Chains A and B, each alone.
Chain A
Amino acid sequence: TQLLEQSPQFLSIQEGENLTVYCNSSSVFSSLQWYRQEPGEGPVLLVTVVTGGEVKKLKRLTFQFGDARKDSSLHITAAQPGDTGLYLCAGAQGGSEKLVFGKGMKLTVNP
């Protein structure tokens, strides 16, 4: 059983399109993080959200943490080829710093 479910798992879009990635769970998380990973490299942290309902923006990326702290979304506006990569969500529970990862969403942005 996967604790964090990401959808969609794959997405191929044209440059300039918008997209939303979802990260869902039936469990409550004390914090939720989003990472981006390129081939042959380790995941790189994009953002951490800790408060239910919190919204954070990072240039064209908007992250939201659900009110009940069980889910999160990542919205990318006007996608660019440089956004291509694997997007992973990860959650921490209770006072632990151990992370549980989703399977990821592989994004391809075509020029």
Chain B
Amino acid sequence: NAGVTQTPKFRILKIGQSMTLQCTQDMNHNYMYWYRQDPGMGLKLIYYSVGAGITDKGEVPNGYNVSRSTTEDFPLRLELAAPSQTSVYFCGISSRAPKEGYGYTFGSGTRLTVV
């Protein structure tokens, strides 16, 4: 039971290149999220999904796209990489238990550098 798996772990892109960050979960949770973490800035929500076929924008969606064709996978796409997208990207899932509140499980992250 791996939880949330992100690939790749590291990537260097040139300006204008594109790439897909992969996120796969084996916990059968509907809610999935993509966050980016910049130094000293906490985590900011890029996109999220409440189930297969349903996605929505978060706080910082510009320059990114997502899709959710299955419960397990939630890839994040960068079409034209820019230096401002240099960051660490985390994929997460949430368990929904109204009485206990929500808890996230995160992957180990993808460190992306755009040069």
- A22 CB, nearest partner CB in chain B, Å: 15
With A31-B102, A42-B90, A103-B41 already in contact, the answer to whether A97 and B31 are too (CB < 8 A) is: yes
Q: Is B101 a contact of A50 with CB atoms below 8 Å?
A: yes
Q: Is A33 a contact of B103 with CB atoms below 8 Å?
A: yes
Q: Is B108 a contact of A42 with CB atoms below 8 Å?
A: yes
Q: Is A88 a contact of B108 with CB atoms below 8 Å?
A: no
With A42-B109, A98-B33 already in contact, the answer to whether A48 and B103 are too (CB < 8 A) is: yes
Q: Is A92 a contact of B106 with CB atoms below 8 Å?
A: no
- B84 CB, nearest partner CB in chain A, Å: 18
Chain A stretch 12-60: residues in CB contact (< 8 A) with chain B: 30-31, 33, 35, 40-45, 48-50
Q: Is B103 a contact of A45 with CB atoms below 8 Å?
A: yes
Q: Is A98 a contact of B43 with CB atoms below 8 Å?
A: no
Q: Identify which of A42, A97, A102 contacts B42 (C-beta below 8 A).
A: A102
With A40-B108, A41-B108, A98-B33 already in contact, the answer to whether A31 and B101 are too (CB < 8 A) is: yes
A50 to B96, CA, bound (A): 13
Q: Number of A residues whose C-beta is below 8 Å from B?
A: 27
- B8 CB, nearest partner CB in chain A, Å: 14
A78 within 8 A of B: no
Interface residues in chain B, defined as those with a beta carbon under 8 Å from any beta carbon in chain A: 4, 31, 33, 35, 40-45, 48, 58, 90, 92, 94, 96, 99-109
12 pairs from A and B in contact (CB 8 Å cutoff): A30-B101, A31-B101, A31-B102, A33-B101, A33-B104, A42-B90, A43-B90, A43-B104, A92-B101, A97-B102, A98-B33, A102-B42
Interface residues in chain A, defined as those with a beta carbon under 8 Å from any beta carbon in chain B: 2, 4, 9, 30-31, 33, 35, 40-45, 48-50, 88, 90, 92, 97-104
